[in-house]
Amino acid sequence: MYALKGARTVREQELLFLYKGRGSEFHPAWPNDLLYMFPVTIFGTFACVIGLAVLDPAAIGEPANPFATPLEILPEWYFYPTFQLLRTVPNKLLGVLLMAAVPAGLITVPFIENINKFQNPFRRPVATTVFLIGTVAAIWLGIGATLPIDISLTLGLF
Protein backbone atom coordinates (compact mmCIF):
# COMPACT_ATOMS: atom_id res chain seq x y z
CA MET A 1 0.00 0.00 0.00
CA TYR A 2 1.32 3.40 -0.84
CA ALA A 3 1.62 6.16 1.74
CA LEU A 4 -1.17 8.73 1.73
CA LYS A 5 -0.41 12.37 2.47
CA GLY A 6 -0.95 13.33 6.09
CA ALA A 7 -1.06 9.74 7.39
CA ARG A 8 1.57 8.82 9.96
CA THR A 9 0.62 5.24 10.81
CA VAL A 10 -0.69 2.27 8.87
CA ARG A 11 -4.06 2.57 10.64
CA GLU A 12 -4.41 6.20 9.62
CA GLN A 13 -3.57 5.21 6.06
CA GLU A 14 -6.29 2.55 6.12
CA LEU A 15 -8.84 5.01 7.48
CA LEU A 16 -7.96 7.64 4.90
CA PHE A 17 -8.14 4.98 2.18
CA LEU A 18 -11.62 3.92 3.28
CA TYR A 19 -13.08 7.40 3.65
CA LYS A 20 -11.81 8.74 0.35
CA GLY A 21 -14.59 6.79 -1.37
CA ARG A 22 -12.53 3.74 -2.32
CA GLY A 23 -14.21 1.17 -0.10
CA SER A 24 -16.57 2.96 2.18
CA GLU A 25 -20.09 1.68 2.94
CA PHE A 26 -21.47 5.20 2.46
CA HIS A 27 -24.17 5.51 -0.22
CA PRO A 28 -25.18 9.07 -1.11
CA ALA A 29 -28.84 10.01 -1.46
CA TRP A 30 -28.10 11.73 -4.76
CA PRO A 31 -28.49 10.23 -7.31
CA ASN A 32 -29.34 6.77 -5.94
CA ASP A 33 -32.42 7.51 -3.84
CA LEU A 34 -33.72 10.60 -5.57
CA LEU A 35 -33.53 9.22 -9.09
CA TYR A 36 -34.41 5.59 -8.43
CA MET A 37 -36.12 4.85 -5.12
CA PHE A 38 -38.41 7.88 -4.81
CA PRO A 39 -40.01 7.59 -8.27
CA VAL A 40 -40.51 3.85 -7.78
CA THR A 41 -42.18 4.47 -4.41
CA ILE A 42 -44.37 7.27 -5.75
CA PHE A 43 -45.38 5.21 -8.79
CA GLY A 44 -46.17 2.21 -6.58
CA THR A 45 -48.34 4.33 -4.28
CA PHE A 46 -50.26 5.80 -7.23
CA ALA A 47 -50.66 2.32 -8.73
CA CYS A 48 -52.12 0.98 -5.47
CA VAL A 49 -54.54 3.91 -5.07
CA ILE A 50 -55.71 3.84 -8.69
CA GLY A 51 -55.93 0.04 -8.65
CA LEU A 52 -58.12 0.09 -5.55
CA ALA A 53 -60.29 2.84 -7.02
CA VAL A 54 -60.83 0.85 -10.23
CA LEU A 55 -61.21 -2.62 -8.70
CA ASP A 56 -63.34 -1.65 -5.69
CA PRO A 57 -65.01 1.73 -6.28
CA ALA A 58 -66.97 3.41 -3.53
CA ALA A 59 -70.69 2.92 -3.94
CA ILE A 60 -72.73 6.05 -4.51
CA GLY A 61 -75.75 6.11 -2.24
CA GLU A 62 -79.15 7.58 -2.83
CA PRO A 63 -79.28 11.35 -3.36
CA ALA A 64 -79.90 13.46 -0.29
CA ASN A 65 -83.44 14.60 0.35
CA PRO A 66 -83.46 17.95 2.19
CA PHE A 67 -87.09 17.45 3.26
CA ALA A 68 -86.52 14.08 5.00
CA THR A 69 -84.58 14.62 8.20
CA PRO A 70 -83.08 11.50 9.79
CA LEU A 71 -84.43 10.47 13.18
CA GLU A 72 -81.17 10.99 15.04
CA ILE A 73 -78.31 13.08 13.77
CA LEU A 74 -74.91 11.92 15.00
CA PRO A 75 -71.53 13.58 14.45
CA GLU A 76 -68.44 11.78 13.23
CA TRP A 77 -67.09 9.12 15.59
CA TYR A 78 -64.25 11.27 16.96
CA PHE A 79 -66.77 13.86 18.21
CA TYR A 80 -68.89 11.31 20.11
CA PRO A 81 -67.47 12.04 23.61
CA THR A 82 -67.92 15.82 23.36
CA PHE A 83 -71.34 15.35 21.73
CA GLN A 84 -72.34 13.15 24.66
CA LEU A 85 -71.19 15.84 27.11
CA LEU A 86 -73.30 18.45 25.33
CA ARG A 87 -76.28 16.09 25.13
CA THR A 88 -76.39 14.95 28.76
CA VAL A 89 -75.54 18.13 30.67
CA PRO A 90 -78.82 19.98 31.38
CA ASN A 91 -77.31 23.48 31.36
CA LYS A 92 -76.10 24.31 27.84
CA LEU A 93 -73.55 26.85 29.07
CA LEU A 94 -72.03 24.21 31.33
CA GLY A 95 -72.01 21.80 28.36
CA VAL A 96 -70.12 24.30 26.21
CA LEU A 97 -67.66 24.95 29.05
CA LEU A 98 -67.09 21.20 29.45
CA MET A 99 -66.46 20.94 25.70
CA ALA A 100 -63.89 23.72 26.00
CA ALA A 101 -62.34 21.93 28.99
CA VAL A 102 -61.45 18.92 26.82
CA PRO A 103 -58.74 20.69 24.76
CA ALA A 104 -57.71 22.68 27.83
CA GLY A 105 -57.13 19.39 29.64
CA LEU A 106 -55.13 18.06 26.72
CA ILE A 107 -52.96 21.18 26.76
CA THR A 108 -52.10 20.55 30.43
CA VAL A 109 -50.92 16.97 29.78
CA PRO A 110 -47.30 17.92 28.88
CA PHE A 111 -47.02 19.92 32.09
CA ILE A 112 -48.32 17.00 34.14
CA GLU A 113 -45.85 14.73 32.35
CA ASN A 114 -42.92 16.97 33.28
CA ILE A 115 -43.62 16.84 37.00
CA ASN A 116 -41.79 13.54 37.24
CA LYS A 117 -38.86 12.84 34.92
CA PHE A 118 -39.00 9.03 35.05
CA GLN A 119 -39.61 7.02 31.87
CA ASN A 120 -41.39 4.15 33.59
CA PRO A 121 -45.18 4.76 33.74
CA PHE A 122 -45.39 3.04 37.14
CA ARG A 123 -43.07 5.72 38.54
CA ARG A 124 -45.30 8.53 37.18
CA PRO A 125 -48.56 7.86 39.03
CA VAL A 126 -50.19 11.26 38.42
CA ALA A 127 -49.72 11.24 34.65
CA THR A 128 -50.67 7.57 34.36
CA THR A 129 -53.84 8.09 36.42
CA VAL A 130 -54.87 11.14 34.38
CA PHE A 131 -54.30 9.21 31.16
CA LEU A 132 -56.27 6.15 32.29
CA ILE A 133 -59.21 8.16 33.65
CA GLY A 134 -59.33 10.28 30.49
CA THR A 135 -59.20 7.24 28.22
CA VAL A 136 -61.94 5.38 30.12
CA ALA A 137 -64.13 8.52 30.21
CA ALA A 138 -63.67 9.12 26.46
CA ILE A 139 -64.55 5.52 25.60
CA TRP A 140 -67.53 5.54 28.00
CA LEU A 141 -68.88 8.81 26.58
CA GLY A 142 -68.19 7.71 23.00
CA ILE A 143 -70.17 4.49 23.38
CA GLY A 144 -72.94 6.33 25.23
CA ALA A 145 -73.35 8.83 22.40
CA THR A 146 -74.55 6.07 20.08
CA LEU A 147 -77.31 4.96 22.49
CA PRO A 148 -80.67 6.61 23.25
CA ILE A 149 -80.50 9.47 25.73
CA ASP A 150 -82.23 7.64 28.60
CA ILE A 151 -79.61 4.87 28.81
CA SER A 152 -76.63 6.78 27.43
CA LEU A 153 -74.88 7.45 30.75
CA THR A 154 -75.28 3.95 32.15
CA LEU A 155 -74.78 2.25 28.76
CA GLY A 156 -77.81 0.13 29.63
CA LEU A 157 -75.80 -1.85 32.18
CA PHE A 158 -77.41 -0.63 35.41
User: Between residues 24 and 111, which one has the greater pLDDT?
Assistant: 111
Q: What is the mean pLDDT of the chain?
A: 81
Whole-number pLDDT of residue 35: 80
According to DSSP, residue 150 is labeled: G
Query: What pLDDT, on a 0 to 100 scale, did the predictor assign at position 140?
Result: 93
Q: Is 9 domain-assigned?
A: no
Interval 66-82 mean pLDDT: 86
By C-alpha distance, which of 79, 69, 68 is closest to 146? 79
* Domain assignment present for 11: no
Q: In Å, what is the CA distance from 62 to each residue of 21, 33, 59, 65?
A: 65, 47, 10, 9
- Tell me which of 1-15, 30-44, 90-104 is least confident: 1-15
Residue scoring higher pLDDT (57 or 25): 57
Using the predicted structure, report yes or no on whether residue 25 has a pLDDT greater than 70. no
The pLDDT of residue 157 is 76
Question: Does residue 50 lie in a domain region?
Answer: no
Q: According to the model, what pLDDT value does residue 48 have?
A: 96
Closest C-alpha among 36, 148, 6, 39 to residue 87: 148
Cα 33 to chain centroid distance, Å, stands at 27
Decide if 33 is inside a domain: no
How confident is residue 27, by pLDDT bands cut at 50, 70 and 90? low
| Mean pLDDT along residues 33-40 | 82
Region 87-108: mean pLDDT is: 88
* Domain annotation covers residue 13: no
pLDDT at 80: 92
- Tell me the CB-side half-sphere exposure of residue 22, using CA atoms within 13 A: 7
Tell me, yes or no, whether 142 lies in a domain. Answer: yes
CATH number at residue 94: 1.10.287.980
Q: Print the domain residue range for 105.
A: 77-151
Residue 21 has pLDDT above 60, yes or no: no
Domain count, the chain: 1
Tell whether 103 is covered by a domain: yes
Query: Do residues 87 and 150 touch, judged by C-beta distance below 8 A?
Result: no
